[in-house]
Structure 1
C-alpha cells in the first residue's frame, strides 16, 4: 500500500472515531429576502465549526404549499431532506416521520417557554425544537386612552366598553370611520386562533384537551363566542367577518381603530414612516374573560425537526442544536425581531436595546396556549376547519353559539372515531 493512501485512510478512520465526520445536510426554508440571507450566515458558521456542509432547499412562501410538499416528501421516505423547518401546528401532524429529540435536548428543554415545548410534544415524544416563536397581543392607541382617561383593559367586556366609548367620541368629533376593535374574523386558521383565545381565557377549555378529550361544547365556550358576536356592527365592522391579519392592520394603521388583535410583525409596520399612528400605540396581553382570570394568546412560531429518513441523523441533530441555541436565537432577535423561545433572553440587555418591543411580549408568552394539533395529530386541519366554520356561522348570525358548538361536538366525535 502506498504511504499516501495509508495516511488518507488513517485520516478518515480518525475522523470517524472522533465524531468529526463531515456530512452533507439539507434544510428546507420558506424564508425570503433578509430571512434566507440570515439563515445562510448562521449555516456558514455551523459549517466552519463542524466541517459539515448544509444546503438550503428553497420553498414557496405560501405556508400551505410548504406543508403539502412536506407531506409528499415524507410519505415517500425522501432521504434528500435532513431538517425540516415547521410551523408550530405542523410537526405534531408529521410526528411519525420525525425523530424523537427528547433525550438529545433533555438538558435544555427547561430553558424554553413550557407552552412551546408542549406544542411540539406528541405522546411524550418531542418532535421539533423551536427556532423562534410568535403570539398575538392587544394593540391599543395609548393617545386615545389618555385622552379619554381609560386604563388598558384587562377583560373582554372592559375592552368592548372602552372601545365603544372612544369610538363614539371620535365619530362625534368628526372621524366617521373610527371603529373600536378589529380582529381576524374570516373563516380560516386565523379565526381558530382568535376564538381559541376568547374561549380559553373565559374558562372554556382548548377545543380538544391535551388528553384528546373533546371539550368545546360547554357554557363558558358558548358565552365567549356569543360575546364576540356582539362586537359585530357595534365596535367591529361587519367587514371584519372577512378580515385576515392584513385587513385588520390596514384599518388600524390608518388610525381608524382603538384596539387591534394582531401578531408582533404589525408593531414595526405600525411605527413605520408612512404610518398614521407612529408613536401613538403600544401592546399589552390580550384581555381575559373575567377579572382575575388568565389571558390566553394562541401560540405561533417556527421549529426545526429531523427527518427519520435522514442519512446523517446525528449530524442533523447537531444542526438543530445549533439553530435552537441561545446564541442563534439572540442573533435572530436582534437582526430580524424574531421572538425567542428561551425565557432568559427577554432580559438580555443587547436584545432590549436593539428591539425594545421584544420585552413587551414576555408576559404574552407566559400565558400562551397551543392549538390542539398535538392531541389531534394528522386530523388537526379538519378539526380546525370545523371549529372556525362553527364560530364564523355564529358571528355571522347563523345560529347561536350553543347550537353551533353542540353540532361541532358531534362532528368532532365522528372525526375522532376510535382515536385521534
Structure 2
C-alpha cells in the first residue's frame, strides 16, 4: 500500500465514523495541505501530451512506443511553438478556461511554482516515481511548498561549443575559462585564413526566455545574483552590472555579432553549424544535431564549461518536467504515461537520439556512455553547479522584466546601470504580488 492509498483509507474511515464534511479529504481545497493537494487519479482512456516543437524527434518515438502498447489509451501529441514564452502562455490560457484539452504538460523547470500556486497542475504521488535515482537539483525543480508537482523528463545545462580545429591551428591548447580569454582566443583565430568573416560568440539574445537564461548566466558568472537568499531582488549591484556589461560591451565591440540579438536556440545552432561562429553557448541538444549535420563543423567541435568573469562560469539550470493538468480527464492513464515517459529507458533514448540531458544520475558516470557521448562529464558539471532562474509565482512578470531591461542594455538603449536599477524595481513589484 503506498502513502496516497493509506491516506485515502484513513480519510474514508474518519468520514464514516464521525460524518466529517467531504471537503476535509477532498482533492481541490484551498488550504494547500497534502491531502487536499493530492487528488485521486482515476479514469482511463485517450489523453494529450503538450510540449514545444519536437526538433529532435525523440518525443514522437516515445509516444509511438506508448501508443503501440496502449491502443485504448492513446496519446495525442499537441506541439506548441518553439518559443517558450508562447508555450507558457498557451498552457496558461488553457488552464484559465479550465479546459480538459491538455492532459500532461511539458513545463520549463521554472514554471512549476507559478502553475502549482494557481492550482493549474495537480500535486503528484512522488513515491510512485524513481526520484531517488535522479540528480537532486533536477528533482527540486518540480517541487512547490514541499509537494512534488512535476517529474523530471530531461535536464539542461548550458555549455560552450567551440571549434577544435581552429583553436588548434591558432596554437590554443585549451578552451577559454574567462570572458577576457575567450576574446583573446577569438582575435588569434580570426587571423587564420580559414576563419575569414567569422564572428566570435553568440548565445540566445532575442527578447524571449532565452535572454533571461543568458542574462542569468552572465550575472551569476560574474559573482552576482538575481534574488538573494531571502528571495528578494538583488540586481542593482556592481557584480550584476559586470555581468550585464559583458553582454552589452560584447555587442558594441562586435564580439557578439549584432544579428545575435535576434537569436534563439536554433539560430545559434545553425550559425555555429554553418561555420559562422568560433564559440557558441547552447544546450546539449545541439551536440547531436551538429554532429549528424555532415557540415564543415561536424567532427570539428567540442564543448567546455561556460566562461565567466574571473573563472569558469555558471549555467542556468534548464530542462523540462512533466506535470498533470488539474482539469484533465483520464488521470490514471496520465500518471502511467508520465511514469513511462520519465523512465530510465526513455532517458537513454533521449540521450542517444537527441543528446538531451538525462535526469538519472548514474547515466553521467556510465563509462560506455561517456565514451560514446564525450560531453557528458561537462554537462554533469554544468548541471550540478547551475543556478536556477528566479523561482517566483509571478514568473511571467519577472522574466518579461529581465528580457526588457537586458535587451535595452544590449542594444544600447540604456546603460547597464540604469537597466539594472529599473529591473530591481520591476522585480520587487513582481515578487511582492
Q: Under TM normalisation by the shorter chain, which class is it?
A: 0.7 to 0.9
In terms of mean alpha carbon deviation, does 55-64 or 327-336 score higher?
A: 55-64
Are the counterparts in 1 of residues 287 and 355 from structure 2 also a CA contact under 8 Å? Answer: no
Q: In the superposition, relative to structure 1, how do residues 88 and 321 fare at CA in structure 2: closer, same or farther (>3 Å)?
A: same
| Kept in 2: contact 1:27–1:83 (CA 8 A) | yes
1:389, 1:65 → 2: CA distance?
16
Match of 1:41 in 2: 64
Counterpart of 1:101?
Answer: 124
Q: Does 1:411 align with 2:426?
A: yes
Of residues 197, 217, 221 in structure 2, which corresponds to 1:177?
A: 197
Q: Which residue of 2 aligns with 1:271?
A: 291
Counterparts of 2:278 and 2:82 in 1: how far apart (Å)? Answer: 31
Aligned to 2:274: 254
Number of aligned positions between the proteins: 387
Task: Indicate which of 206, 225, 230 corresponds to 2:249.
Answer: 230
Q: Which shows bigger deviation, 113-122 or 222-231?
A: 113-122
Are residue 363 (structure 1) and residue 381 (structure 2) matched?
yes
* Structure 2 residue ranges without an equivalent (≥5): 1-39
2:149 equivalent to 1:127? yes
SS at match of 2:70: helix
Q: 1:233-285 CA deviation, whole Å, 9 max, x = no partner? A: 24222332333333333432232322111222332333345412222110011
TM-aligned CA distance change 1:325 to 1:404, over 3 Å: same
> Does residue 144 in structure 1 map to residue 166 in structure 2?
yes
Aligned counterpart, 2:92 = 71
Whether the 8 Å contact between 1:46 and 1:322 is mirrored in structure 2 is: no
Deviations 1:14-57 (A, max 9, x none): xxxxx9x9722513234558335312233247639xxx724324
**Between 141-150 and 59-68, the greater mean CA deviation after superposition:** 59-68
User: Quick one: distance in 2 between partners of 1:134 and 1:364?
Assistant: 8
Q: Tell me if structure 1 keeps the 8 A contact 2:43–2:329.
A: no
| Residue 290 in structure 1 maps to residue 310 in structure 2 | yes
**Matching residue within 327, 342, 347 for 1:324:** 342
Query: If the length of structure 2 is used for normalisation, what is the TM-score?
Result: 0.79
Q: Find the residue that maps to 1:145 and give its secondary structure.
A: helix
Q: CA deviation at 1:394?
A: 1.6
What is aligned with 2:224? Answer: 204
Please tell me whether the aligned partners of residues 333 and 351 of structure 1 are also in contact (alpha carbons under 8 angstroms): no
Change (3 A) 1:411 1:57: same
1:214 matched to 2:233? The reply is yes
Conserved? CA contact 1:180–1:235, under 8 Å: yes
Distance 1:362 1:37 in 2: 26
Q: Distance in 2 between matches of 1:76 and 1:204?
A: 40
Of 50, 53, 59, the match for 1:29:
50
Q: Which moved more, 1:108-117 or 1:220-229?
A: 108-117
Residues 86 and 121 (structure 1), Cα distance of their counterparts in 2 relative to 1, 3 Å cut: same
Does the 8 A contact of 1:32 with 1:61 survive in 2?
A: no
Q: Which residue of 2 aligns with 1:401?
A: 416
Give how far 1:364 is off: 1.9
Structure 1 residue aligned with 2:33: none
Moved more, 152-161 or 231-240: 231-240
- Show the counterpart of 1:166: 189
Rounded to whole Å, the distance in 2 between the matches of 1:221 and 1:81 is 39
Note the aligned Cα RMSD (angstroms): 3.0
Unaligned runs of 5+ in 1: 1-18
- The offset of 1:129, in angstroms, is 0.4
2:203, 2:281 within 8 Å by CA — same for their partners in 1? Answer: yes
Give the TM-score, by structure 1 length: 0.81
Following TM superposition, where does structure 1 have runs of at least 4 consecutive aligned residues deviating by more than 6 angstroms? Answer: none
